[in-house]
Structure 1
Amino acid sequence: MFRKRKVKKEVMDQELLQTIYHLKNEWANLEDIMGRSIEPTERGLCDLAVAKAKYFYLIREAKRRKISAV
């Protein structure tokens, strides 16, 4: 029973890291688009703020779980 839980934790940790990388790329892409935009829309700025908030939330979660990509 304990072995099975450890495997699930490792799988969840890997999924968390993949999600963090995905959100970091999404945030960087949105930031690049907003930076090149002449007049950023309210929707675009909101999407950028949401992506940034999700990314930092998952970073805090990874720190809490003591997960490192290295």
Structure 2
Amino acid sequence: MLGRKKGIKKEMDKELLMNIKKMKYEWETLNAIIEQSIEPSEEGLKDLALVKAKYFYLLREARFREINALS
């Protein structure tokens, strides 16, 4: 039983790290678009704030699980 739980935890940790990398890429991409815009739209700014919040939430979850997410 314990080996199974460790396997599931490793899978979930791996998925969490993939999601963190995905959110970081999306955040950087949206941030670059917003910075290059002359007049960014309200929807674009809301999307940027949402992606940023998701990214930091996932980082907080990684810290809680004691995973090094920034490697």
The TM-score by the shorter chain falls in which range? over 0.9
Whole-angstrom distance in 1 between the partners of 2:12 and 2:68: 13
1:59 and 2:40 equivalent? no
Q: Which runs of 4+ in 1 moved over 2 A?
A: none
Equivalent residue runs for 1:2-13 within 5 Å: 2-13=2-13
Equivalent residue runs for 1:1-70 within 5 Å: 1-69=1-69, 70=71
How far 1:2 moved relative to its partner?
Answer: 1.2
How far 1:24 moved relative to its partner?
Answer: 0.2
How far 1:42 moved relative to its partner?
Answer: 0.5
Indicate the SS of the match to 1:46.
helix
The size of the alignment, in residue pairs, is 70
Whole-angstrom distance in 2 between the partners of 1:51 and 1:27: 6
Identity %: 53
Whole-angstrom distance in 2 between the partners of 1:57 and 1:19: 11
Whole-angstrom distance in 2 between the partners of 1:27 and 1:19: 12
What TM-score, normalized by structure 1, do the two folds share? 0.96
